[in-house]
């Protein structure tokens, strides 16, 4: 069972470091191997089935590729953190050094501010982790319960059997949509896969938020030290301490930027890929309506029917897109123009 209690002085993102070590990041050399089963799971359970085994129809293709982009987004983020392992360790050493300087000063107001902010960040990280655990359990077991309920109704109410799968993929051509035994074996494999995917996605977000939040707190500590020295008229006595604290805070910020910049860049790239794939799905689905009207030879239908078919054809030609935030509309044509202009 994962223990959220950290028996260390506050001021450093201890909880997120503990979570990172589960994936082989910021740990000892003997712990680095922990990332191997994570990426084996992604390769064998997500990437290979989604890329090499095809899909039943166009709709499942779009859904499957969108899921693939989403998962690649998360796992590439973890790879970036693995590549930035030395920077992460240096960030921790630098932040620990700054926090040690604060504790050496024994100033109640500054130390109290550090403890309050640390507790706030720790509680937010803990709450997010618990919420993520609850969400992934719901995501894991709800498809299985739905399928078993459908099987129960099939036995007693003579209804159709519906297999609800966790991800849209053709799992090595195993008949997971027609055989209950194969479906249950697939679901057992997906329990581990979903937990790994949730860990990777949650860890990436928590690491970004924690590192940025703690860097902000470190600058607050420098400001409070300057204000306190000004109030006590002791700037000259504390100038070396202030300069060193500010240097360490700046160094933490530089390391934080070097760690998070590649992750945020790939986040932007994959968000655009997911958005464009959904735009493509909407556009093609809308075009299928117009194609069906042409295939039924609407111009040869009776006048009354032709009127209604013309109305459907007219409506089908309306651009279909995605609206972000209720005000930013984007269809496939506009998206193509933006990409071309860029």
Of 81, 129, 87, 23, the closest CA to residue 266 belongs to 81
Distance between CA 232 and CA 223 in Å, rounded?
14
Burial class of residue 203 in the structure, from the number of CB atoms within 10 Å of its CB (0-12 exposed, 13-18 middle, 19+ buried): buried
User: Of all helices (H) and strands (E), which one includes residue 308?
Assistant: helix 303-316
Please give the DSSP secondary-structure letter assigned to residue 84. T
186 lies in some domain: yes
The DSSP string of 237-256 is HHHHHHHHHHHHHHHHHHHH
Interval 178-232: pLDDT, tens: 888 999 999 999 999 999 999 998 998 899 999 999 999 999 999 988 888 888 7
5 lies in some domain: no
Per-residue confidence (pLDDT) for residue 2, from 0 to 100: 58
Interval 24-53: pLDDT, tens: 886 677 777 888 899 999 999 999 999 998
299 lies in some domain: no
C-alpha distances out from residue 41 to 35, 44, 67, 196, Å: 10, 5, 15, 8
Query: Domain containing 264: what range?
Result: 14-270
317 lies in some domain: no
332 lies in some domain: no
Tally of domains in the chain = 1
Q: Hey, what are 341's tokens? A: 């202009």
Distant-in-sequence, close-in-space partners of 109: CB < 8 Å, separation ≥ 6? 224, 228
Higher confidence at residue 133 or residue 323? 133
Q: What is the pLDDT confidence band of residue 58, given thresholds at 50, 70 and 90?
A: confident
137 lies in some domain: yes
Name all contacts of 185-192 with Cβ < 8 Å and 24+ positions apart: 187/143, 187/144, 187/147, 189/45, 190/45, 190/140, 190/166, 191/140, 192/41, 192/45
Distance between CA 193 and CA 38 in Å, rounded?
9
**How confident is the model over 130-140, as a mean pLDDT?**
91
266 lies in some domain: yes
Distance between CA 216 and CA 117 in Å, rounded?
10
Phi, psi at 294, each rounded to 5° = -65, -40
303 lies in some domain: no
Distant-in-sequence, close-in-space partners of 212: CB < 8 Å, separation ≥ 6? 256, 260
The DSSP string of 221-235 is HHHHHHHHHHHTT-H
């Amino acid at each position: 069972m994962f223990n959220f209690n950290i028996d260390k002085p506050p001021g450093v993102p201890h909880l997120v470091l503990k979570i990172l070590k589960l994936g082989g990041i910021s740990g000892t050399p003997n712990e680095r191997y922990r990332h191997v089963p994570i990426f084996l799971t992604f390769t064998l359970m997500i990437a290979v089935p989604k890329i090499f085994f095809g899909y039943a129809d166009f709709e499942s293709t779009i859904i499957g590729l969108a899921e693939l982009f989403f998962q690649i987004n998360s796992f590439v983020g973890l790879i970036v953190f693995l590549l930035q392992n030395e920077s992460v360790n240096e960030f921790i050493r630098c932040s620990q050094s700054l926090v040690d300087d604060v504790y050496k000063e024994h100033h109640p107001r500054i130390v109290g501010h550090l403890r309050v902010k640390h507790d706030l960040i720790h509680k937010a990280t803990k709450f997010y982790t618990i919420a993520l655990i609850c969400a992934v359990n719901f995501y894991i077991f709800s498809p299985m319960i739905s399928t078993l309920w459908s099987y129960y109704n099939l036995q007693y109410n003579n209804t159709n059997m519906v297999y609800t799968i966790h991800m849209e993929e053709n799992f090595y051509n195993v008949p997971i949509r027609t055989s209950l035994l194969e479906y249950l074996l697939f679901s057992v494999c997906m329990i581990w896969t979903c937990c790994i995917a949730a860990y990777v996605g949650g860890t990436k977000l928590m690491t970004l938020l924690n590192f940025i939040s703690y860097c902000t707190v470190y600058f607050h500590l420098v400001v409070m030290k300057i204000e306190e020295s000004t109030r006590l008229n002791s700037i000259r006595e504390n100038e070396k301490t202030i300069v060193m604290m500010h240097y360490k805070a700046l160094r933490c910020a530089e390391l934080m930027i070097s760690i998070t910049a590649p992750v945020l860049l790939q986040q932007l790239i994959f968000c655009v890929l997911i958005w464009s794939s959904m735009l493509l799905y909407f556009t093609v689905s809308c075009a299928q309506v117009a194609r069906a009207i042409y295939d039924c030879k609407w111009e040869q239908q009776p006048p009354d029917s032709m009127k209604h078919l013309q109305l459907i054809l007219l409506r089908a030609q309306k651009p279909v897109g995605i609206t972000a935030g209720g005000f930013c509309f984007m269809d496939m044509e506009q998206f193509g123009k933006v990409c071309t202009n860029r």
